[in-house]
Structure 1
Amino acid sequence: MEQLRAGEGETAEPSPGVMTGRRRLLVLAAASLGAVGFPGGSAAATAPPAAPAHPRCDFDVAAENALPGTASWRVTRPGAAGDIAGFTSRVSVLPGEPVDLHVSTTAAAYTVSAFRMGWYGGVRARLVWRSPVLPGAVQPPARTDAETRMAYADWQPSTRLDTTTWPEGCYLLRLDTGDGRAQRYVPLTVRSPSTAGRVVIVNSVATWQAYNRWGGADLYKGTTGKKASRSLAVSFDRPYAGGSGSGQFLVYEAPLVALAERLGLALAYTTGVDIARNPELLCGAAAVVSLGHDEYWSPEQRLHVTRARDTGTNLAVLGANCCYRRIRYEPSRLGSHRVVVCYKEDYARDPGFVSGRPPTQDFRRTPSRDPESELLGVIYDGYPVDAPYVVTHPHHWLLAGTGARLGESIPHLVGVEYDRVHTAYPTPRPIEILSHSPVVCKGRRSHANSAYLTLPGGAGVFATGTMRWVEALDAGQPGAGAHHGLDAQAGAFTRTVTENVLRAFAEGPAGLTRPAADNVPAHYPASPAAAPPAA
């Protein structure tokens, strides 16, 4: 994992008189967007929106997964650096839209195989398309922007992909050198034309880029290995260095995609970039699923998710450290939204901030303070930890079928980052704490919490409180390995709870049928009690 974070886990206590919450969210969004409309109501709406006028989406997940899969999708020969690598000109396309593939290879020839990721009887992928043999060429080395230390690949397109026959979903394109020496992935989302009535799986592509060190720098470290040389912006115009080219997809997202597709639910697929770009994208969605590591959000993405939540769309946060960093998208020569800008503590140097845009730093920090807890119910509390997950509400409907007992401890499930309920920050109520796991983070004692929140508009919000949740879904499965000591107990528990979440959230606003019963004072006695529900 690329989790090298000097100084992470620090928290800043709320300050009296600082504007927080939904008002701040709308001010930030207005500053970055201008006014936008969202069919179905405003952030203060109390009823789910009417069915939006979106294209009908007839994609059948169960029928797709009944097609024969292939177990040969994995990269087994990563080769040496520079043997082959690539990136797409767009992070996502609608089915049938073309996308350019930029490839550099030392081989004379290569092929491209498009694997749609899912369940497929447990083999996890289906070969949707394979190219003919294509001529290889070495493209220029990484270039670096002098102002932001942003690494990027100034490569020419190598081939154009026609996605006409590709069903919507999460894809890994695999590049194979003609001599069999090397393989590499290139991720691509074939996004859904409509999310209405569906559970929306969101690929966290901005976070993948934040940790991408291709070209020598990411948002954490630069070419000197020090924080001072880190990038202030990162580009989608380059391959992913980690995950054999897949970024963070295989660890933090693929296990959830497999589980959700195995359940045969009505699913939709998109990215955080697409949610930011399209204020109507989430209209009528049954639920939005944030996956294992979803740290970097633009104000536009946050606004659109908040509006969906407040008009009845459920939200499942299956990780930790979600919606922590505020970013801005800028264009590259390949198109809009190709650069992720995040100056962090150097925000005052950001030309965008100087010109009046929101600061590209942590949402919770001043200026423009807007802690993520107002959206999620929980707030990021620290890194790194490795601790047992302790069950404190075993009879809750979300834990049905787990067999969990009061005080049951699941080794290593809390890590490497964690969230908690912290009512010193804006925290919607009522909220139920389902786990209360003691942690020690850099000598500081605290707790990690899984929590369930319900909103006046009917939405339910579930947050796991741990970044290891999605990778734990595979624990104890054949060939899954033993990541961080996660075992069969962790796998069985997380799979059962996740199935409960997805099935309930797919039915519509969960708060209408499964309202939360606030229990925060039982775990944090100094916290104020929840206000009574409105009459």
Structure 2
Amino acid sequence: MRSQGPATAVVGYADRVSVTPGEECGLYVSTTASSFRVSAFRVGWYGGAEARLVWSSGRIPGRVQAEPHLTSGTRTVRTDWKRTLAFSTAGWPEGAYLLRLDAEGGHQRYVPLIVRSTLGAGRTVLMHAPATWQAYNRWGGYSLYEGPSGAYAARSLAVSFDRPYDSSGAEKFLVYERAAVVLAERLGIPLAYTTGTDVHRDPAVLRGARAVICLGHDEYWTPEQRRHVTQARDAGTNVAFLGANTCFRRVRLEQGEARPDRTVVCYKSSFRADPCYSTHPTLVTTDFRQAPGADPESSMTGVLYEGYPTDAPYVVHAADHWLHEGTGVRPGDGFGHLVGVEYDRVTPGAPVPEPLEITAHSSLVCNGRRSTSDSAYYTVPSGAGVFATGTMRWVEALMAGTPDGGHDHGMDARTRAFVTRTTENLLHAFALGPAARHRPAPRPNVKQVYKGST
């Protein structure tokens, strides 16, 4: 991207989080330029290039759209914009797309769009996280974290997809997802694409899938999405969590202005004000581990989110694990800055599936308190294997030290090589089907690693 320009230079959003190939999609664009163009790039691996132009529009007249409106009570920012254009995705391959808006004069913004798969049988499913993208989106002054003043108390209790994303328009995708897509496509394994909001609505894409991959920051889940992923695991689908803080917040998806599932509801610490509090306690939108309806995420992920912020070396524990084949690591080898900025750990006393093996065990300090971060691997009776990295920087490390590395937090080429090879081992193994049938079983070691802990 050359230049974002001022906040009003050019911004837009799609009327759908995802489409199936051939489906029409609408774009809503506001720009101070007299005209703009749209280019659709599919992210992947094209002989070294990491995206391919699939479609481009002609010149489109620009216009400044109306100011957004704020819903009282939940402080939800929505636009009431006129649709600028519609386009068909006929002939577009399934995959992750960036729609680039190019305003006359040179300013640019992205609009993310997933062209989703309807069938995932025999494939590795990449599951994107638009609910999390939207939770952090500050466009219009409000996110699920803060209001215009920066105060938590003024935050939205529900956020809408009927508005642009802030910053580049696709920041969360670019930082936490793009590099994993590129790597998976480079490996040539059969892939399918979906989103958490689509899995919430319909789990069909997970039926018969070899694996489902949750990418680098996938914090906001509905109970339905979690149930569908867990059911897939228990039917033999491997699961990988390439981040931290996964499935931490329980959300609901509600109607938008014109389409269903366009609003992400999460009351967090104000959960007693949630309309479901007295009638449907398992749907109350707070942390999964909190009452009412407490169900810690560790029963699915194997690890429990603990804290933010931290910056620490990632320390290998089980160097001879099959995940580390070809990396040359030894027990105790460390990789600087790979643990951060949020982290998970295996927490004694929290529910975890067994047998579970800690593969990395990293000491850290978070807010003045000493703790640890863990990577963990477990299997279930269906044969499915589940791996969690325990750090949010895993996908970022795939780009560390490269021109596209962005904020690599000081991670170097050695770290990139280790994370890349480990991820390749993981994806190749999981693409073969239930991991317990063709890879060594976990060697339970939680009690050994956490001697004396409670």
TM-score, length basis structure 1 = 0.83
**What is the DSSP-based 3-state SS (H/G/I as helix, E as strand, rest coil) of the residue aligned with 1:274?**
helix
Q: Which residue number corresponds to residue 236 of structure 2? A: 312
**What is the DSSP-based 3-state SS (H/G/I as helix, E as strand, rest coil) of the residue aligned with 2:218?**
coil
Contact map agreement 2:33 2:105 (CA 8 A) in 1? no
* 2:30 maps to 1:104: yes
1:98-123 deviations in Å (ceiling 9; x for gaps): 01100111111111000000111222
Q: Which residue number corresponds to residue 280 of structure 1? A: 204
**What is the DSSP-based 3-state SS (H/G/I as helix, E as strand, rest coil) of the residue aligned with 2:106?**
coil
76, 79, 82: which one aligns with 2:2: 76
Amino acid at match of 1:109: S
Q: How does 1:251-400 map to 2 (within 5 A)?
A: 251-356=175-280, 358-400=283-325
**What is the DSSP-based 3-state SS (H/G/I as helix, E as strand, rest coil) of the residue aligned with 1:332?**
coil
Q: Give the Å deviation of 1:441.
A: 1.0
Q: Give the Å deviation of 1:224.
A: 1.6
Q: Give the Å deviation of 1:246.
A: 0.7
Q: Which residue number corresponds to residue 48 of structure 1? A: none
Whole-Å Cα distance in 2 between the matches of residues 397 and 137 of structure 1?
A: 56
Relative to structure 1, the CA distance from residue 479 to residue 347 in structure 2 (aligned partners, 3 Å threshold; closer, same or farther) is: closer
Q: Give the Å deviation of 1:275.
A: 0.2
Q: Which residue number corresponds to residue 112 of structure 2? A: 187
Whole-Å Cα distance in 2 between the matches of residues 233 and 347 of structure 1?
A: 12
Whole-Å Cα distance in 2 between the matches of residues 170 and 80 of structure 1?
A: 27
46, 63, 67: which one aligns with 1:137: 63
Q: Which segment is superposed worse, 88-97 or 135-144?
A: 135-144
371, 384, 389: which one aligns with 1:464: 389
Whole-Å Cα distance in 1 between the matches of residues 140 and 146 of structure 2?
A: 11
Relative to structure 1, the CA distance from residue 158 to residue 369 in structure 2 (aligned partners, 3 Å threshold; closer, same or farther) is: same
| Structure 1: 5+ residue stretches without partners | 1-74, 529-535
Q: Give the Å deviation of 1:527.
A: 6.4
Contact map agreement 1:116 1:171 (CA 8 A) in 2? yes
Amino acid at match of 2:14: T
Q: Give the Å deviation of 1:477.
A: 3.1
Q: Which residue number corresponds to residue 22 of structure 1? A: none
**What is the DSSP-based 3-state SS (H/G/I as helix, E as strand, rest coil) of the residue aligned with 2:182?**
helix
Whole-Å Cα distance in 2 between the matches of residues 429 and 168 of structure 1?
A: 36
Whole-Å Cα distance in 2 between the matches of residues 477 and 82 of structure 1?
A: 31
173, 178, 186: which one aligns with 1:249: 173
Whole-Å Cα distance in 2 between the matches of residues 516 and 307 of structure 1?
A: 21
**What is the DSSP-based 3-state SS (H/G/I as helix, E as strand, rest coil) of the residue aligned with 2:98?**
strand
Contact map agreement 2:311 2:337 (CA 8 A) in 1? yes
Q: Which residue number corresponds to residue 113 of structure 1? A: 39
Q: Give the Å deviation of 1:513.
A: 2.3
* 2:66 maps to 1:149: no
Amino acid at match of 2:62: G
Whole-Å Cα distance in 1 between the matches of residues 297 and 280 of structure 2?
A: 22
Contact map agreement 1:299 1:327 (CA 8 A) in 2? yes
Amino acid at match of 1:463: A
Amino acid at match of 2:200: A
130, 136, 142: which one aligns with 1:211: 136
Q: Give the Å deviation of 1:377.
A: 0.7
| Structure 2: 5+ residue stretches without partners | none
1:372-411 deviations in Å (ceiling 9; x for gaps): 0000111101111000001111111100111111111110
Amino acid at match of 1:423: P
Q: Which residue number corresponds to residue 377 of structure 2? A: 452
Whole-Å Cα distance in 2 between the matches of residues 113 and 159 of structure 1?
A: 13
**What is the DSSP-based 3-state SS (H/G/I as helix, E as strand, rest coil) of the residue aligned with 1:124?**
strand
Q: Give the Å deviation of 1:481.
A: 4.9
Amino acid at match of 2:60: L
Q: Percent identity?
A: 57
Q: How does 1:441-520 map to 2 (within 5 A)?
A: 441-481=366-406, 483-514=408-439, 515-520=441-446
Whole-Å Cα distance in 1 between the matches of residues 139 and 171 of structure 2?
A: 10
Higher percent of residues as strand: 2
Q: Give the Å deviation of 1:181.
A: 3.0
Amino acid at match of 1:92: S
Whole-Å Cα distance in 1 between the matches of residues 95 and 401 of structure 2?
A: 26
User: CA RMSD for the aligned pairs?
Assistant: 1.2
Q: Which residue number corresponds to residue 240 of structure 1? A: 165
Amino acid at match of 2:397: A
Contact map agreement 2:31 2:62 (CA 8 A) in 1? yes
**What is the DSSP-based 3-state SS (H/G/I as helix, E as strand, rest coil) of the residue aligned with 1:309?**
helix
